[in-house]
Structure 1
Amino acid sequence: MSAGTRVGAAARVRKGAWGTWLLALPVPVLGLLLWHAGVQGAWTLPFGIQMTFLPQPADVGLRLVDFAVGGVYDDSFSGTLWTHLGASAARVLQGFLLAVVVAVPLGVLMGRSRLVFRMLDPTVNLVRPIPVTAWAPLTLLIIGFGDRSTVFLVFLAAVFPILLNTISGVRQVPARLLEAASMLGTPPAQALYKVVVPAATPSIVGGMRIAMGLAWVILVVGETVGIDTGLGAMITQAREQSRTDLIIVGMIVIGLAGFVADRLLGLVFRVLFGRRPILK
């Protein structure tokens, strides 16, 4: 590829990225305008939502700045964003990685072996519908307060999307790929990681992205009891103090953290797999 071609391709990528951001921008801007108008007009929305109890977007923005760098309100939450975010991100990462280590190999086995699938599928589908929130009280009793219970809840939230997507991806691997590998002398055991897993990668990655989002959702549940540091703990403390602006700030930070985590996950897979079409 010539230098001119590479420059043109890079320019098209930058133009596409700017176009994506410009298309996405009107929705949050409109949401902020409606939020402002709703609070000023004391709107009542469906489900009985009273907009008059919400702070103005500008007040939430000031609280977010103070939470990040301090200097606005100078209270116990000022400048503590990175402490809370770092603690929460560590718990999410531990639970997510544990789910990947368990779910991917198990999904490959269940997808390839009819016997293993018939042995484990009833148990998986029995445990899978149990809400993680129902596990929380039991987790506190059998594990106790602290990081380990939160990591376990994150693991439970993340493991099933990865497992089911891995099983689905492995079952959709064309039989002709395995036949071709066999004709080329690839042993069946090696075919699992040389043929099956690479072919199922798009489905596995999709499951991981879903799991990462769920991990941030469940994080708040795990951090509501017995933990002093973390975004969920911060939201719980703000609720006890009826500080609505701080609750919304916590929600915004979790949303941004989940967004960045999804993008970083996609970046990791692009680096690992290069030009292979594994991400949509």
Structure 2
Amino acid sequence: MSLEKSEIGSPVIDPVDTPATDTAVAGPAPVKRRARRLPEAVNRYLVRATALIVAILIWHWASTSGFNLFINFENVPGPLVVWNALMQEIVSKTFYVHILYSLQRIGIAYLIAVVLGVALGVLMGRWRLAEDIIAPYIELLRPIPAVAWIPLAILMMPSEESSIIFITFLGALFPIVINTVHGVEQTPKVLVRAARSLGASNAAILRHVVLPGALPSIVAGLAIGMGVAWFSLLAGEIISGQYGIGYFTWSAYTLIEYPKIIIGMLMIGGLGTLCTLMIKMACRPLLRWQAQGKNA
């Protein structure tokens, strides 16, 4: 460090050689650590699980306190009572027979509804003449509830089993047809004209342009149809069934076994949710192009 004499004789420190004491003392600025966050999918499932837990707690409070304000919970069994009854049913072979019968009926009826519903929807969406012929039947029969079909189904079908499958089939058919028609009609006309100008045939346009564009709507129809199919199955099993979750629920009501009623309701909801989830997972590879388009 160089020192120079000032006019009064005191040493003057060269500013160039002055050490940066402030910087040396302070040091580098501390790095703020970000709080770790759970993945978005985990957060969403946590929120859903919390919502279910809150509903169960409210149910427990209402049943134990005898809540009676427009909705009467005095005779509704609580979650613990239903859980104990469920543990008794799980070890019973008959309980699984009811589930297998319902799943078998849903599988047969839903498969027929998917094949016929998508085919009719594509015909109605692509050809005006087919729409004019089929649409009146769809619009006339669609508002009829499943319960109203039961007497006629019993008269027309050779057995009670086939009548239940027929009612379940009708419940799944109409949502699939309507959503397929909507998806096919929403296909951009410019894509169809572009494919036709490149020499594509009608079959190629249907396979490579129309169906991929209509798939999101078709998948939505498949999911809705599954939910309505379970609703229709319940109505059929209550009236004319001997086995099935619907019959299990109705027989519990006639025998005044209230916990079994809630078990049947929860089983229908759980099985319906599981079937819908399986449909969405099975259709996910077909909709891979949607995720690629969002990420592009």
Could you say which residue in structure 2 is the equivalent of 1:33?
57
- Does the C-alpha gap of structure 1 residues 145 and 44 become closer, same or farther in structure 2, counting only changes over 3 Å? farther
* Cα separation, partners in 2 of 1:127 and 1:226, compared to 1, 3 Å: closer
Q: 2:237 aligns with which of 203, 206, 223?
A: 223
Q: Distance in 2 between matches of 1:275 and 1:123?
A: 35
Which of 145, 148, 166 is 1:134 aligned to? Answer: 148
* Offset, 1:217: 1.2
In the alignment, which residue of structure 1 is the partner of 2:264?
250
Please state if 1:119 is matched with 2:119: no
Work out the CA distance in 1 between the residues paired with 2:68 and 2:207. Answer: 56
Q: Is the 8 A contact 1:202 1:277 kept in 2?
A: no
Aligned twin of 1:197: 211
- From 43, 56, 79, the counterpart of 1:19: 43
Distance of 1:45 and 1:144 partners within structure 2: 47
CA gap 1:162/1:232 in 2 versus in 1, 3 angstroms: same
Larger Rg: 2
Give yes or no for contact 2:150–2:236 (8 Å, CA) kept in 1. yes
Partner of residue 10, structure 2: none
Residues of 2 paired with 1:66 and 1:22: CA distance? Answer: 30
Contact 2:99–2:244 (CA under 8 A) maintained in structure 1: yes
Aligned mate of 1:59, from 78, 81, 92: 81
CA distance in 2, matches of 1:240, 1:128: 31
2:177 maps to what in 1? 163
State yes or no: 1:94 paired with 2:108. Answer: yes
Give the whole-Å Cα distance in 1 for the aligned partners of 2:289 and 2:87. 39
Match of 1:261 among 275, 284, 292: 275
Unpaired stretches in structure 2, ≥5 consecutive residues: 1-36
Following superposition, the deviation at residue 15 of structure 1 comes to 2.9
Checking the alignment, whether the CA contact within 8 Å between 1:157 and 1:218 is kept in structure 2 is: yes
TM-superposition CA deviations, 1:161-187 (whole Å, max 9, x none): 110111111011001111121122211
Q: Say if 2:215 and 2:287, in contact at 8 Å, map to a contact too.
A: no
| Kept after mapping to 2: 8 A contact 1:36/1:57 | yes
Check conservation: 1:166, 1:203, Cα contact below 8 A: yes
CA distance in 1, matches of 2:241, 2:158: 11
* Shift in Å, 1:228: 2.1
Q: For residues 243 and 133 of structure 2, what CA distance do their matches in structure 1 show?
A: 41
Letter in 2 for 1:15: P
1:264 Cα deviation from its structure 2 partner: 0.6
Query: How far off is 1:190 after superposition?
Result: 2.7
Paired AA for residue 211 in structure 1: G
Question: Cα–Cα, structure 1 residues 51 and 141, in superposed 2: closer, same or farther, change >3 Å?
Answer: same
The CA RMSD measured in Å over matched residues stands at: 1.9
C-alpha distance in 1, partners of 2:235/2:211? 33
Structure 1 partner of 2:67: 43
- Give, as a single letter, the amino acid of the residue that structure 1 aligns with 2:76: L
CA distance in 1, matches of 2:86, 2:144: 35
Q: Partners of 1:162 and 1:26 in 2: how far apart?
A: 33
Opposite residue 64 of structure 1, the aligned amino acid is L
Task: Indicate how the Cα distance of structure 1 residues 125 and 233 shifts in structure 2: closer, same or farther if over 3 A, else same.
Answer: same
Alignment-mate amino acid for residue 47 of structure 2: L
> What amino acid maps onto 2:79 in structure 1?
P
| Number of matched pairs | 256
> SS of the residue aligned with 1:54?
coil
Match among 212, 221, 226 for residue 226 of structure 2: 212
Give the partner amino acid of 1:20: R
Q: Is the 8 A contact 1:145 1:226 kept in 2?
A: no
Between the aligned residues of both structures, percent identity stands at: 36
Residue by residue over 1:225-245, the C-alpha shift from the partner in whole angstroms, topping out at 9 and shown as x without a partner, is: 342221011112111111010
